[in-house]
Amino acid sequence: MSSRVSNVCLDAADPYAQTLWWAQVLEDFTVDESWEMEPGDEEAGLVGPDDRFLLFLKVPEPKTVKNRMHLCVRPVERDRDAEVERILGLGATLVDDRRNGDKGWAVLADPEGNEFCVLTRYVPGTDPDDGN
């Protein structure tokens, strides 16, 4: 028997703010109003598909080095470049631009500096590794 991912936890200075920011970025993870999260909470998060969670946990120290693990997001309704611009407009910063025409990705950082990648648009029935 094997395991499955239940949740992904990210360290945060402000878990509540990170939760609200990521809720704007991700389509398939949403705020569950029954959690009654509020500013100052030690933990906050989003509910995703199949009862999986993206959690933000309060830590006292700031981020100081590159992430050892990161999220990769794939746009559903717009192309990669339009999604990069949308997320930059939400307050992300461009860390590394690895886009090359219709292939490649952009490395962005969320408001607390956590890196994540924006891959090419998701098209059902295609190879998810083609063009990322």
Structural domains for the chain: 1-61 (3.30.720), 63-132 (3.30.720.110)
Please give the pLDDT value at position 30: 95
Q: Which two tokens stand for residue 118?
A: 């924006």
pLDDT given for residue 129 in this prediction: 57
Regions in the chain scoring below 70 on pLDDT: 126-132
Query: Which residue, among 55, 69, 57, has the nearest Cα to 14 in the 3D structure?
Result: 57
| Phi and psi, residue 46, nearest 5° | -120, 150
Alpha-carbon distances of 24 from 9, 50, 98, rounded to whole Å: 18, 20, 23
Q: How far is CA 29 from the centre of its chain?
A: 9
pLDDT tens per residue, range 31-66? 998 999 999 999 999 999 998 999 999 999 988 888
Longest CA span, the chain: 44
pLDDT confidence of residue 68: 84
